[in-house]
A and B are shown apart, each in its own frame.
Chain A
Amino acid sequence: MTSTMKPLSELQQLFCDGLRSSEPPAQALLEEIVDDGLQVQRFNVYRNNFIVLNGDALADMYPVIKQLLGDEAFRMLATAYVREYPPMDRALLLYGERFAEFLAAVPELSGLPYLSDVARLEYAWTAAYHADDAAPLEQRQIAKLPSDELDHLRLRPHPSMRCIGSVYPIYRIWSANQSNRVDETVSLDEGGSQIVVIRPKAEVEIREMTPGALTFLQRLASADTIAEAYSHAAETEPEFDLNTFFTRYLFDGTFCAL
């Protein structure tokens, strides 16, 4: 027994400080561990678990970032991220929310300016995967409406929908790094991407959209009517064609039942 008994709160915080630190465990912590000459090694099993278990969760969420950086660089960045932003939630499903922001601030990565946007895309994939379910809009619901009411309808996109715009061709970067297409090369001169991530049925889909289509969906998501959303979309992209858009997306699960 130690001569000065620390309260439980202090002991647990001391332990947590040691887990999170990149430095060897503090003397005050080692003094609480039964002395068999291996206290540091024993404690390091926990410190290593903390880094590896949470780092694995990041690797699951960011497979393309991992592929772009290579295993070793990814591990180093994941370790730094876990120390800076440890899990705040007891469920790890969405752990890694700030990874895009974190990557953008790493000076050594300034040569890969698209990385942070690719990370936003990967986060959106997982967020869409675990998002609310919703019944899809069906033809018979629309058929019941008088045609002059259609313009004033407020269509609700599926709750899993995330919109992402980037000045880099992140859709192509993401596609080229799906396991079966590793040989593809992407030039940054290809231009930007407008992407919708959505889980209309069982699977998450990543769709490259035109600027007008993205604006249209974003406006609908913020409760515009079809007419209002369309006028914004046409401003962004004069060629935006509502009929083509609806033919493809109106009843495929992109929108919720009325």
Chain B
Amino acid sequence: MKDISLQSVAAPVPVRAGAGLKPKHYQAIIEQQPDIGWFEIHPENYMGRGGPPLHYLERIRADYPVSLHSVGTSLGSHLPLDTAHLKSLKSLVERFEPGLVSEHLSWSHGYEWYTNDLIPLFYTETTLKLIVEHIDQVQEFLGRKILIENPSTYLQFKQNEIPEQVFYVEAAKRSGAGLLLDINNVFVSCSNHGWSLDEYMSAVPHDMVEEIHLAGHSTQDLEGSTLRVDDHGSPVCSEVWRLYENYINSNGTVPTLIEWDSNIPEFPELFREVCFAEEIIRTANDQYHEATV
């Protein structure tokens, strides 16, 4: 494993529940100062030259730690990383001093244009080498460690030769990156491909997991079988809550984010989901303390 020394960050993301920051909620957050551990942003939404989004983020950052969750690096593309994009990312890292920086295990451009969607990787040794190189380059450029997130996928390629969870962990081990474990994505992908949830979850070394994501998904009927689509447009489903609770209770607590990116509700509904996660973290911590007293 490569050694990427953990630099001290100005405002580390606490082991609490956080929420994805949405423009719709800027005012409510600034006015109400809700008791939320941290917020996460997609840096690409703050890559304008100036204007209100950056001002709001500055105000919110003054009161909360933040995490940058990038969607535009396209780590798994055969094309080289985009230096202009990395520069924008770095300037946001320098300006907002996020506690965590993360990116997806996916790709989003095959030509010069971008899909603006996260496309599944070909799980081969060739792609693994490529993505490790790209993660290295990002970490080198930013001068810090990043986390990589397991994807939600709807199809598999015949070329795949490495199970997703093995590929995911191996990419992080070889590059010195940490893991962002998206439990909804694990549930969605396992369900869509008939993989074993236990096998997937037990392949993920807990000491590498630095952040957890939870979100809602929708379902589609594909000629009698159910396809789960990760649209972040509803509350977290009960199976995913159970999976999360089990994970936290048996492994320990981790900063946990509620993502809600489509059909975005008013702030109180998002806050309620954050409180559910916070309650699970608190209960797990209490049990741990009781057990060690």
> Which residues on A are within 8 Å of B, measured CB to CB?
1-2, 5, 7-9, 11-16, 19, 31-35, 37-39, 41-43, 45-46, 49-50, 53-54, 57, 86-93, 95, 129-133, 159-160, 199, 202-203
Q: Mark B171-191, 1 if CB is under 8 A from A, else 0.
A: 000000000000000000000
Separation in Å of the A46 CB from the closest CB of chain B? 7
User: Pick the contact of B122 from A8, A46, A203 — CB < 8 Å?
Assistant: A8
Smallest CB gap from A94: residue in B: B48
Interface of A is mostly: loop
B161: chain A residues within 8 A (beta carbon): 1
- Bound complex: CA A84 to CA B161 (Å): 35
CB <8 Å contact, B72 and A90: yes
CB <8 Å contact, B157 and A38: no
B55: chain A residues within 8 A (beta carbon): 202
10 residue pairs of the A-B complex, CB under 8 angstroms, read A1-B161, A2-B158, A8-B127, A11-B159, A50-B117, A86-B113, A91-B44, A93-B48, A130-B48, A202-B55
A43: chain B residues within 8 A (beta carbon): 155
Chain B interface, number of residues (Cβ within 8 angstroms): 50
B222: chain A residues within 8 A (beta carbon): 38, 41-42
B71: chain A residues within 8 A (beta carbon): 90
- Bound complex: CA A91 to CA B112 (Å): 14
> Which residues on B are within 8 Å of A, measured CB to CB?
44-45, 47-53, 55, 71-74, 77-79, 82, 85, 88, 107-117, 119, 122, 126-127, 130, 154-161, 220, 222-223, 225, 227, 229
B82: chain A residues within 8 A (beta carbon): 90
- Bound complex: CA A15 to CA B45 (Å): 26
Separation in Å of the A117 CB from the closest CB of chain B? 24
A57: chain B residues within 8 A (beta carbon): 116
- Bound complex: CA A14 to CA B159 (Å): 14
Separation in Å of the A111 CB from the closest CB of chain B? 32
- Bound complex: CA A32 to CA B111 (Å): 19
B49: chain A residues within 8 A (beta carbon): 130-132, 159
Smallest CB gap from A85: residue in B: B113
Contact (A93, B47) CB under 8 Å given A5-B159, A15-B110: yes
A32: chain B residues within 8 A (beta carbon): 157-159
A132: chain B residues within 8 A (beta carbon): 49-50
Separation in Å of the B48 CB from the closest CB of chain A? 3
The 4 nearest A-B residue pairs measured at CB: A130-B48, A90-B72, A12-B110, A133-B50
CB <8 Å contact, A46 and B225: no
- Bound complex: CA A39 to CA B222 (Å): 10
A95: chain B residues within 8 A (beta carbon): 116
B109: chain A residues within 8 A (beta carbon): 12, 16
A8: chain B residues within 8 A (beta carbon): 78, 122, 126-127, 130
CB <8 Å contact, A13 and B155: no
- Bound complex: CA A166 to CA B213 (Å): 48
CB <8 Å contact, A88 and B114: yes
CB <8 Å contact, A87 and B159: no
CB <8 Å contact, B159 and A45: no
Separation in Å of the A33 CB from the closest CB of chain B? 5
Separation in Å of the B122 CB from the closest CB of chain A? 6
